[in-house]
Amino acid sequence: MAEIKILKNIMDENLSQAAKNRQWFRSRKILVLNLIASPGAGKTTFLEQTIKGLTPNFKLAAIEGDITGDHDAKRIEALGVPVVQINTEGGCHLDAHMIDSVLSSLDLSGLNFLFIENVGNLVCPAEFDLGEDLKVVVLSTPEGHDKPAKYPLIFSEAQAVIINKIDLLQAVDFDLIIAERDIRRLNPNVPIFRLSCKTGEGLDKWLQWLETQGTDNG
């Protein structure tokens, strides 16, 4: 019997593909967002509002990740934005190879922003680097203010946190102070945007911030 020293990161394969994706995006000055949220948090509506707010000043594209179906992709396509659907067929997250495999089917020339809508899940998507610039977590008020404390990894990894559906604050038991305190404990300097995709409240601040990120990138 012999012992072989290996010291290899199990995630190496994903990480090296993510690094290739990142280099590829950076060389083309495309700012890439990885949108992560629970099912029903309002990711797709948030993406629609973001796309509407950025067009026509920027050129955009989207990758929609879902277990099955193309419901979300159709909604994004209706806004005139090139979109490609990835179905994970049961998988709970997108990985870097999946992103690489669809890049050739998107027109990315002159693109400013690429939005990747991950599978609805706060756990596994946190583990898989896609080569994005910004991980953006969308938390909605009906989910409860305990989510940052219960799913710490994704909140500690995020470059921006959206608290969506603030129009429902009167109707649900969501304490903004507790939610934001826990987010800050995990990630002290992360920008937090309170907004409602339904009423439009707070969207302007998010869009301003995002445009600044895009301008810095280019």
Closest distance to another protein from the beta carbon of 74 (Å): 25
Burial class (CB in 10 A: 0-12, 13-18, 19+), 125: buried
Closest distance to another protein from the beta carbon of 187 (Å): 10
List residues near another protein by CB under 8 A: 1-14, 90-93, 95, 123-124, 126-128, 149, 152-153, 156, 182, 184-186, 188
Residue 62 or 94 with smaller CB distance to another protein: 94
Residue 28 or 150 with smaller CB distance to another protein: 150
Closest distance to another protein from the beta carbon of 161 (Å): 15
Residue 104 or 189 with smaller CB distance to another protein: 189
How far apart (Å, rounded) are the C-alpha atoms in residues 48 and 79? 8
Closest distance to another protein from the beta carbon of 180 (Å): 12
Structure tokens at 85: 């659907």
How far apart (Å, rounded) are the C-alpha atoms in residues 151 and 73? 27
CB atoms within 10 A of CB 144: 15
Could you report how far apart the first and last alpha carbons of the chain are, in Å?
56
Residue 13 or 204 with smaller CB distance to another protein: 13
In 3D space, the residue among 157, 167, 216 whose CA is nearest the CA of residue 34 turns out to be: 157
Residue 85 or 187 with smaller CB distance to another protein: 187
Chain centre to alpha carbon of residue 57: 21
- H/E element holding 60? strand 60-66
Q: How far is CA 202 from CA 90, 99, 155, 194, in A?
A: 35, 31, 20, 6
Closest distance to another protein from the beta carbon of 14 (Å): 7
- H/E element holding 162? strand 160-164
Residue 96 or 114 with smaller CB distance to another protein: 96
Closest distance to another protein from the beta carbon of 128 (Å): 8
